[in-house]
Amino acid sequence: MRRQAYAALDLGTNNCRLLIARPSGENFTVIDAFSRVVRLGEGLAGSGRLSDEAMDRALAALHVCADKLRRRNVSLARSVATEACRRAVNGGEFIERVREETGIALDIITAQEEARLAVLGCHVLLEQGHGPAVIFDIGGGSTELVLIEPGERVPRIVDWASVPWGVVSLNDTVASAGDSNAELLDRYARMRMLVSDSFAPFAARVAEAAKAHDIRLLGTSGTVTTLASLHLELPQYDRRAVDGLIVPSVAMRDISQRLSGMAMQERRTLPCIGPDRAELVVAGCAILESILDIWPADKLGVADRGIREGILRGLMAGTPAPGATLL
């Protein structure tokens, strides 16, 4: 008899992602996956609503996910929605529409639960050490920062913060003035200031811990995986080369500053960025540099894993959380 299949679905502000897996010892083996850029949060910063076009894009992706869940005979799944649905005045209506049209029961999780799942999903990639660490997740609509200390099996969360700036919300909020180098750098400076102001309370709380000599840093997001790919000069994205990579922080800053002064057309031509990420990557760079300001670790760990892997680990450990559904 085949072992039970579990599924984790994460509907974010920019992406819809699904993982289906079976337990394999202490880990799991992925048997199916899906990822699509849906831009659910497009225009949300200005209107406070999910647009009809954005909801239609997300629903089209969720229909694909529903089909995969049925074909793979998934017995237990957890499907979550994050910042876009938390912020939108019509987020609840959209969740109900998803349930009626696809059968998928999305759970709008809190920022705290989002941070917990990200830690659960990627903490195994943290550099070895006994000092404090920060794990961060730069999303489309928000960024989560988690201060942790080593624990028995899973790190102990000491403090956390969520700010409403992700690559989509920051890009939509800070208007572009033009494509001259001075205008591009001015826009980047405004992004950095906005994010730094939002991080300030967390920065003050972790200031003492940041002085430890062996601090560690791990990031999970399209921003860090993209910049890591550029650092490695990969001709195309390769998860095996990037997931678990340790990169000098100064190299990530250098790449961020180089991208911040590039025109959109120039960014589009770079391997591993392309048209999908060209518009949003600079906002991610501004967030990443602001994180490095408050947690100045010499090296940055890169994770191509996060919320979905955290959900799967919870399901397989028998702690599915309230939003899990038997299928």
Phi, psi for 74 (deg, rounded to 5): -70, 130
* pLDDT tens for the 327 residues of the chain, in order: 457 899 999 999 999 999 999 998 888 999 999 999 999 999 998 999 999 999 999 999 999 999 999 999 898 999 999 999 999 999 999 999 999 999 999 999 999 999 999 999 999 999 988 899 999 999 999 999 999 998 777 889 999 999 999 999 999 999 887 889 999 999 999 999 999 999 999 999 999 999 998 999 999 999 999 999 999 999 999 999 999 999 999 999 999 999 999 999 999 999 899 887 899 999 999 999 999 999 999 999 999 999 999 999 999 988 655 555 554
Quote the pLDDT of residue 1: 41
Q: Are strands 216-220 and 299-303 parallel, antiparallel or unpaired?
A: parallel
Residue type, 252: M
What is residue 34's DSSP assignment? E
What is residue 27's DSSP assignment? E
Quote the pLDDT of residue 16: 97
The CA distances from residue 87 to 12, 44, 47, 50, 101, in Å, are: 12, 8, 11, 9, 22
Quote the pLDDT of residue 322: 53
Q: Where in the chain is the domain with CATH 3.30.420.150?
A: 112-303
Q: Where in the chain is the domain with CATH 3.30.420.40?
A: 6-110+308-326
CATH code, 112-303: 3.30.420.150
Query: Which parts of the chain are beta strand (E)?
Result: 6-11, 15-24, 27-37, 76-81, 106-108, 133-138, 143-149, 156-163, 216-220, 246-248, 299-303, 324-326
Quote the pLDDT of residue 11: 98
Pick the CATH number of 6-110+308-326 from 3.40.1120.10, 3.40.50.2300, 2.60.120.10, 3.30.420.40: 3.30.420.40
Q: Which two tokens stand for residue 82?
A: 């994050």
pTM over 0.85: yes
| 3-class DSSP state of 253 | helix
